Chains A and B, each alone.
Chain A
């Protein structure tokens, strides 16, 4: 493994706000590790299919798709020492497969036929995140990969995906759930609920939502309850994995986004969650293009050329200010990898290969 900060790691999570090249960075990291001999799985959860675009493909499937031939065609057959597979998380499939595994076919079929459950599962703030974690766990347990690279979903808050377990735990909270569990001998929603306080409150809720949806939920509750423990247990396993020595996070940003000051809260949050931050990656640096304030001969250059240089130099100065702050924050133990702007827009394999060189 040539990427030093990934030494000894079995999984790496690429974090960062949207628009900073997180997907591209994940793909470049994975490619770099595969070339130098590791069996790598690259996972994205992106509903917008950007990972496929960055790998130069039309689409990705939800099961690991070997890309060896494709990579070899670009780098040469003898250059790829490991292997690379990529997959795009299909949340629906992963979810129902998980349900089938833990609850059996009956539970699976009940959920599948419930419109209410479909909406709940599709809208869960964090369902996607939970499923990304679930997939990560599944791939890790399979033992088929030396390194798993996870491209996290776009979020304003970089560590949002870590909230998923907490949200799900709250949804499955015993104290709430117990009220919805039915007593099969009695009839009618209100009758079936045991506590008077909740009975009144639920009848108020029914005034707003109609009886149907509460009824649906009450009917669904015991089934959800059956898989609840599996959910909660799995969260714990995932958390243990993420906070172990085998896992770490990389914070990806762009030189201008740095100014929003998101690196500091990220470090703090990751620390509080027990997740090791391995490195900072700063994408699309313009430094090389305008390295000095007043290069020799600039004054005699054509006005359009001088003006362009002056504008880029302003951007670079802003960038340098941000980078100084980031390096201070990163300290000695975490590298800050500055990825220079490439001549071309990166959206295919040769582009990714050029990027990957920064991680070798």
Chain B
């Protein structure tokens, strides 16, 4: 049972970030699964990118060849749970926003199809993040029959900071108008611990933990306190006495024993973090996300 889970389950949006390779996607999927077993309508989201297609992890984890921008109901592998899944496209999200704000007279089309403004909007820094966060915020706030909670399988540390700060930045540079108003509301939404939860995935290694502490410091003032997960901790082993210690399996035992000790020592630097075990591959075992989900609640 993870201490922070009941509190996370009460929010509208969970943003999962952390160091590359820390298991963000698997943790996101595990959270989505666990939340769906509570009877919630869960929307699992990833921000897609044009050239990244083959690198998005979700299709592989969900055993699907591709995922679309529109929320699609997906049955989670080896369970009966169903969740909504999207890989959000920046261009489509922008078009949706423009159409929502400029519903008449084909104005949205004028804006998006014009060579100057259309190309300009394509290259405005931070806009792809803003419009996709906006889509999440809007659906979670205003769609009465929308999802109960969204889990964003977010980008790695550096980009996550820019992503979370996008609404504040747009609020700052626009100073008025609908974009200002929406960006301000979004910034409030992201800062509100009743609605937004941050989930940091770390690894039990010195450098990854430093990065997590740093991230917490940078985001500390303006965002809800994050739930910390240290993933892939080697399981602790009992201290054994053996005679033929030079045998290869004894050396391997010694390695695992010491690695577990070292990782535990490192992980305790993150006070209040939930330590999740390294899940060894086992023939015939459940998929990793399900094994992780079992540990959450």
A: residues with CB less than 8 A from B are 17-20, 23-24, 46-50, 53-54, 115-116, 119-125, 127-128, 153-157, 163, 167, 170-171, 173, 175-176, 179, 195, 197-198, 200-202, 204-213, 216, 254, 257, 260, 262, 265, 289-292, 295, 297-298, 301-302, 304-306, 308-309, 311-312, 314-315, 318, 341, 343-345, 347
- Closest chain-A Cβ to B236's Cβ sits at a distance in Å of 11
Pick the residue among B101, B126, B206 that contacts A119 (CB under 8 A). Answer: B126
Min C-beta distance of B287 to chain A, whole Å: 14
Interface string of B117-129 (1 = CB under 8 A from A): 1111111111010
Inside 8 A of B203's CB, which chain A residues have their CB?
Answer: 19
Q: What's the Cα separation between A50 and B20 when bound, in Å? A: 13
Inter-chain contact B237/A304, CB cutoff 8 Å: yes
How far, in Å, is B242 (CB) from chain A's closest CB? 7
Tally the A-B contacts, defined by beta carbons under 8 Å.
222
Expressed in whole angstroms, the minimum distance between the Cβ of B94 and any Cβ of chain A is: 11
Majority secondary structure of chain A interface residues (helix, strand, loop or mixed) = helix
Q: Which of B156-205 contact A (CB under 8 A)?
A: 156-158, 161-162, 166, 169-170, 172-180, 203, 205
Which A-B residue pairs are the 3 nearest by beta carbons? A18-B20, A19-B21, A210-B177
Q: Which of A204, A211, A292 contacts B117 (CB 8 A)?
A: A204
How far does the alpha carbon of A24 sit from the alpha carbon of B206 in the complex, in Å?
A: 12
With contacts A208-B177, A212-B176, A295-B248 taken as known, whether A120 is within 8 angstroms of B125 at the C-beta atoms is yes
**How many angstroms between the C-alpha atoms of A212 and B240 in the bound complex?**
71
Q: Is the interface of B mostly helix, strand, loop or mixed?
A: helix
Determine if A19 and B20 form an interchain contact, defined as CB atoms under 8 angstroms apart: yes
A157 engages B52 (CB within 8 Å): yes
Q: Does B238 contact A (CB under 8 A)?
A: yes
In contact, B52 and A156 (Cβ under 8 angstroms): yes
Return A342 CB to nearest CB of chain B, in Å.
10
User: In chain A, what residue has the closest Cβ to B244?
Assistant: A297
A48-B211, A208-B101, A210-B179 are known contacts. Are A157 and B55 too (CB-CB below 8 A)? yes
Closest chain A residue to B130 by CB distance?
A123
Complex CA distance for A43 and B36, rounded to whole angstroms:
45
